[in-house]
Amino acid sequence: MTFNQQEPQHPDSQVTGNPSPDIGEPISPELSIPDSQKIAPQRRQPRRPKGIRPTFRMLIGLTLMTALLLLPFVFSDQYLEIMRSRAVDLHGVLRGGAYKQITGFLAVGLVAVEMLLTVRKRSRSWIGRIKLPGSMQLWRSVHIFLGVALVGMVLIHTVGANGFNFNALFLWVFFGTTLTALVGVGAETGILESSRQFFGRLPGHRRPLTKGPLIRNLRAFWLASHLFFVGAFLIMLVFHIFLVYYHRGPLGLG
Ligand code: HEM
């Protein structure tokens, strides 16, 4: 991707100035193009924020990596059966209590770090006013990379087994948590980095759709879905731990 113009970097800092004729799609003459002079300078010429930020290319890489990490869940019925019949000892270790507990607690640790994003974002308005060091940019990036690491940890914890009953549902809710965010943030970043300035028109609207409103609407949808899954996931995590320690038996894994 080439950036022969300044790059917009945040949904709230969108470029809606005059289109350059040498980039992006040709813009049809009947589209009403907003006057760039009416747009505040910081919105017209946003600066790329300093620090790490997963680019669209990185996010595509992370999505592919996640797809690879999810692949064993598709084939686990076959390979777990082979493990059961041919490598009883290995299978025994992988299903043993110590393995499950260590990998389980590591996964819970990653979940706790994932939740620190909320603490960093909102705690300054809380009663305790906890202040975490580091920029939101940094915490967002850490959150995204650790989210994918958590998928890897869940694969290690479950050995790819889909589980039964409660655990099967719990696993799907976890997949929902990560996939809504990964697809959402990937699409958002793709639009943000795109050299196009206009994205067609909504039915019944005269003005063409620009990056800002498109990303804001997309974000409202994917972030709400992500948070819905996060809420369900956290409640189910508590039940999962309760079932493991106080209701040994129908764990359903393996
Ligand atoms: C691959 C996995 C994940 C990705 C890519 C991801 C990505 C994101 C992104 C981009 C945001 C929006 C941050 C912002 O700009 O405000 C977000 C919000 C959030 N995520 Fe995730 N996430 C993932 C997994 C998780 C997991 C596993 C949890 C916890 C169990 C979680 C909990 C949250 C919470 C609580 C917020 C809301 C923060 C707030 O607005 O207060 N995420 N996530």
Ligand 1 centre distance from Cα of residue 247 (Å): 31
Q: Which atom of ligand 1 is nearest to the CA of 62?
A: 1
Ligand 1 in contact with 143 (CB < 6 A)? Answer: yes
148 versus 98: the higher-pLDDT residue is 148
Contact 181, 154 (CB under 8 A): no
pLDDT band at 26 (very low <50, low <70, confident <90, very high): very low
Burial of 85 (0-12, 13-18, 19+ CB in 10 A): exposed
Q: Which atom of ligand 1 is nearest to the CA of 234?
A: 30
At residue 66, the pLDDT reads 98
Residues 6+ apart with CB under 8 A from 78: none
| In the block, residue with structure tokens 């990056």 | 211
Ligand 1 centre distance from Cα of residue 223 (Å): 8
At residue 131, the pLDDT reads 83
Report how far residue 238's alpha carbon sits from residue 65's, in angstroms, rounded to the nearest whole number: 28
At residue 248, the pLDDT reads 63
At residue 2, the pLDDT reads 34
Residue 53 tokens read as 């930020």
pLDDT band at 20 (very low <50, low <70, confident <90, very high): very low
**Nearest-10 crossing angle of helices 165-193, 136-158:** 150
Ligand 1 in contact with 114 (CB < 6 A)? Answer: yes
Ligand 1 centre distance from Cα of residue 117 (Å): 7
| pLDDT higher than 70, residue 9 | no
Residue 236 tokens read as 């189910």
- Residue pLDDT, tens place only, 184-196: 999 999 999 999 9
| pLDDT higher than 70, residue 252 | no
Residues 6+ apart with CB under 8 A from 43: 13, 14, 15, 16
At residue 125, the pLDDT reads 77
Ligand 1 in contact with 59 (CB < 6 A)? Answer: no
| pLDDT higher than 90, residue 249 | no
Residues 6+ apart with CB under 8 A from 159: 72, 76, 80, 94, 95, 254
Q: Which atom of ligand 1 is nearest to the CA of 233?
A: 30
Q: What is the mean pLDDT of residues 18-45?
A: 46
Q: What is the mean pLDDT of residues 34-46?
A: 52
2 versus 239: the higher-pLDDT residue is 239
Report how far residue 238's alpha carbon sits from residue 129's, in angstroms, rounded to the nearest whole number: 26
- Residue pLDDT, tens place only, 113-154: 999 999 999 887 776 777 888 899 999 999 999 999 999 999
Q: Which atom of ligand 1 is nearest to the CA of 151?
A: 1
pLDDT band at 200 (very low <50, low <70, confident <90, very high): confident
| SS3 assignment for the chain | CCCCCCCCCCCCCCCCCCCCCCCCCCCCCCCCCCCHHHCCHHHHCCCCCCCCCCCHHHHHHHHHHHHHHHHHHHHHHHHHHHHHHHCHHHHHHHHCHHHHHHHHHHHHHHHHHHHHHHHHHHHHHCCCCCCCCCCHHHHHHHHHHHHHHHHHHHHHHHCCCCCCHHHHHHHHHHHHHHHHHHHHHHHHHHHHHCCCCECCCCCCCCCCCEHHHHHHHHHHHHHHHHHHHHHHHHHHHHHHHHHHHHCCCCCCCC
- Residue pLDDT, tens place only, 45-94: 444 555 568 999 999 999 999 999 999 999 998 888 887 777 666 666 66
Model pTM score: 0.79
Residue 230 tokens read as 């996060």
